[in-house]
Amino acid sequence: MVDLRSARNDVAEAIRNACREHGFFYVTGHGIEPDLILRLDALARQFFAQPEEVKAHYAMTQGGRAWRGWFPLGGELTSGRPDWKEGLYVGTSLPNDHPRVVAGVPMHGANLLPTEDVAPGFARTIDDYMIRVVALGQRVLTHIAESLGLASTYFLSRYTQDPLVLFRIFLYPTRPVPGGVDAVDGVGEHTDYGLLTLLRQDDVGGLQVRKGDTWLEAPPIADSFICNIGDMLDRVTGGYYRSTPHRVRLNRSGRDRISMPLFLDPDFDAVIEPIRPPEREDASERWDQASVHGFEGTYGDYVLGKVSKVFPDLADKAGTRAVRSS
């Protein structure tokens, strides 16, 4: 547990220990109002309770290259297998005349969100929440930099001045997987792709973190965010901080579960430079058998190669670039 109200040296030490031991840590003292979190949770549940024909107006298939919008249960894949969740993809909303939108760069564009008559206050609350959590993420990255003996502005000056911000709202239903759907987890084993993920989960639970051959529960803790490090922080540190595999169990609690991860990722065009050589080559140990240290290219190259496997149909339409590997 990392209390951000503690002395900076204490925060840096706590983060260093957590990242070396687990790759995950809880933060408290973050200053984000509980009312904002609870309001977004309630509005998300209202949206997911809408009939599918209503939600289909905001489907990701309508979002084009921006990869924004809603997907149905089983509509997202992990390692080729459907996850038992539905979700809403959101990001930094860009106008049509933004250079990256004009150029057709994938994962850049406007959000595809319900209008006020369908979900009053939902879009505005999402914007408010994202602003606050992105600021929290930038703050946590200053402490991560200090935990590595770097200047507090290291990540901001190199990678997150114009970050790729991806926000997801997921519903893990309590109803069982129907016959014919090959889903065995709420979401299968994976690591996150960027620098830092900030997760707000409700009180249902289900998140698990892998340590060696053992899956450990990451239970909800009131008024906290879970932070986990992604592949690019693994790459920056040469594996000193490793991105940790995690998954979500099927929800058999009797209550639907809401999970809201925000991914604070490097600039799409950033080339990620390690601060030290890799401790070891670990591709054979990873869930995807892919090296975070050996690829060549930008963060955009890396993330598109990953996300295109999550939504292969959308990837074909978006014309994503291939990841180059060494």
Q: End-to-end distance of the chain based on CA atoms, in angstroms?
A: 38
Q: Are 243 and 285 a contacting pair, CB within 8 Å?
A: no
**What are the tens digits of pLDDT across the range 94-104?**
999 999 999 99
Per-residue pLDDT at 19: 96
Highest-scoring range by mean pLDDT, 56-70, 111-125, 156-170, 269-283 = 156-170
pLDDT at 201 over 80: yes
Over residues 133-150, the mean pLDDT reads 98
- What is the span of the domain harbouring residue 286? 2-325
Lowest model confidence (mean pLDDT) among 128-137, 247-256, 306-315: 306-315
CATH assignment of the domain containing 25: 2.60.120.330
Task: Write down the mean pLDDT value for the chain.
Answer: 92
The residue among 63, 46, 41 whose CA lies nearest residue 118 is 46
The residue among 130, 136, 133, 140 whose CA lies nearest residue 19 is 140
**What are the tens digits of pLDDT across the range 250-298?**
999 999 999 999 999 999 999 999 999 887 667 666 767 678 888 889 9
Overall pTM > 0.85 = yes
Per-residue pLDDT at 12: 98
Half-sphere exposure of 65 (CA within 13 A, CB side): 15
The residue among 32, 307, 314 whose CA lies nearest residue 322 is 307
Q: How far apart are CA 295 and CA 142, in angstroms?
A: 26
The domain total for the chain is 1
